[in-house]
Amino acid sequence: MYDKTVRRRRLVLALLVVLSLILLTAYFGESSSGGLHSVQRGFLTVVSPIQNGANKALKPVRDLIGWFGDTLHAKGQRDELRTQVDRLRREVIADDSEKHSYRELLTLFRLDNQLSVKDYHPVTATVVAKSPNVWYSTVTIDKGESAGVRVNDPVINGEGLVGKIAQVASDGAQVTLITDSSVGVSARIGSSGATGIVQPKVGEPNDLLLQYLPANTRAEKGEYVVTSGTVSSPDDSLYPPGIPIGQVTSINEESAYRSVNVHPLANLHNLDVVQVLTAARGSLPANLSRVTAALPPGRQGASSGEQLASTGGG
Amino acid sequence: MGPLGSPALLGRIAALSIVLVFFQIGVVSEVPVFGVSADLSPLLVAFVGLMCGSTLGALSGFAVGLLVDLALVQTLGVTSLTLTVVGYFAGRLREARDPQAALTPLLVGAAGSAAAMVAYSLVQFLLGVDAPVSLELLRQIVLGVVVNTIIALPVWALVRRCLIGGLPEDPRRRRRRAYTTGGLSPLSRS
């Protein structure tokens, strides 16, 4: 009797381990349109409304817990923001006259058809699930295909760039955050205009690194890094230019290319509401994304993407 | 009662697992402590194993892992594999030693969380997932274990309260209780 119990116990363990390994191998080996991925999308479709309901019901609990942490940081943040407001006010006044000249020049040279956030149709979504471990920088939102959300659509919030859509179900979608190792965003430094690619910093997954900048790039601590409106690979999303990504924290000069450390502006640990920038079929962003994705490898450089983005509408 | 436990017990484990997984995803993951989020799933599985034995521990580990991977759109099978092992060995501890110390859940919770996080990282490395290998990862694991250890006792109390009604009376525990209350004590007989 004892032997039978032991045998059954070990058999159950072996069966479950083998089943897990089969699942893992099959899932890892198949494409995103494979059977297991479809099952996962189906599950997401079913549980999205439940997650959404649970999310709304549990929001007071989350807010209460978050309130304690927020209160502790509020005083320090207030002083920091006052200094920032003073600096920004001075910058806005100085930029106003430059902006006027810039608009005149754009009109003069017929360059005012660049892709911008206005060309997209923003869909507001609520974050309903978040992975608890360091391996997955993803969140799940409550809007999907039925709201016009598609794979690779850019995702932003009030603070800046958040990420892009990785998988879509009918009423939910998975967002890969900009801190995920699979994401690279073409970006430029606000003042100098030098362009590079923003990727997560190795060893510090909550920080970013703007890489492949020209060696003579000058950057100051606190400068803003924004999207450049170009793509660096066929799988990338064509983010509209000018979306804030982060602020420069330090500059690295040890290699032929210069790189700067960037702290993301969006608080990716505490995402609640985001906007997905969707593009209707036939619109300028959709056409540009289609063109850049269709280019053969090696053609999607910063320059080609930049050219496409700036000439696509005309 | 079947070899895996009564239907009532299985129902309780299933309901508790679903509620805790959704609570984890919707609330706990959103509240970072020391820069990391607590992970209820290894605690839940370890405590089910500690209360119900290795077979139910392994089965609940597989089911909870599958639910987590499905709900978070992660690689299917990774969490199932790690939690199956955690649940099985927590159950084996109960079957082989049946520890009664008050701090046992704390230690089992810490060990289960550490094992799950390390195993999870190892599987990810084996799969070649491009993630930073660094002191940061080690820090995240250590802090994750610390946070899970802090919440281990309340989670244990919850799991125990939910499952105790569905568990059959354990003869060893009944004997021990009788012994400590004097029923079977050799002193009381003499």
pLDDT digits (tens, 9 = 90+) for B72-84: 888 899 999 999 9
Residue B138's pLDDT band (cuts 50, 70, 90): confident
The CATH fold of domain B7-189: Arp2/3 complex 21 kDa subunit ARPC3 (1.10.1760)
Candidate ranges A307-311, B102-106, B127-131; pick with highest mean pLDDT: B102-106
Q: Please check the confidence at residue A199 and state whether its pLDDT lies above 50.
A: yes
Instruction: Note the CATH number of domain A185-264.
Output: 2.40.10.350
With CB atoms and an 8 Å threshold, state whether B70 touches A136: no
pLDDT at A190: 75
A112 to chain B, closest Cα gap in Å: 40
The model carries a pTM of: 0.69
pLDDT at B181: 55
Top-confidence residue, A238 or A233: A238
Q: Please check the confidence at residue A314 and state whether its pLDDT lies above 50.
A: no
pLDDT digits (tens, 9 = 90+) for B43-67: 999 999 999 999 999 999 999 999 9
Q: Please check the confidence at residue A109 and state whether its pLDDT lies above 80.
A: no
DSSP string across chain B: -BTTB-HHHHHHHHHHHHHHHHHHHHTGGGS-BTTB---HHHHHHHHHHHHH-HHHHHHHHHHHHHHHHHHTT--TTHHHHHHHHHHHHHHHHHHHT----TTHHHHHHHHHHHHHHHHHHHHHHHTT-----SHHHHHHHHHHHHHHHHHHHHHHHHHHHHHGGGSPPPHHHHHHHHHHTTSS-HHHH-
Of A17, A200, A205, the CB nearest to B81: A17
To test the contact with chain B by mutation, choose from A20, A30, A271 the residue with the greatest count of B C-beta atoms within 10 A, namely A20
pLDDT digits (tens, 9 = 90+) for A52-66: 887 777 778 777 777
Q: Please check the confidence at residue A113 and state whether its pLDDT lies above 60.
A: no
Q: Please check the confidence at residue B133 and state whether its pLDDT lies above 70.
A: no
Which residues of chain B have a CB within 8 Å of the CB of A53? none
Q: Which residue in chain B is spatially nearest to A57 when comparing CA positions? A: B26
| Residue of B77, B150, B78, B76 lying closest to B113 (CA atoms) | B150
Q: Where are the domains of chain A?
A: 185-264
Q: Which residue in chain B is spatially nearest to A52 when comparing CA positions? A: B26
Top-confidence residue, B174 or A124: A124
Of A20, A55, A202, the CB nearest to B26: A55
pLDDT digits (tens, 9 = 90+) for A156-198: 888 888 999 988 888 889 998 888 877 888 888 877 778 888 8
Distance CA A102, CA A206 (A): 35
Q: Please check the confidence at residue A235 and state whether its pLDDT lies above 60.
A: no
pLDDT at B164: 86
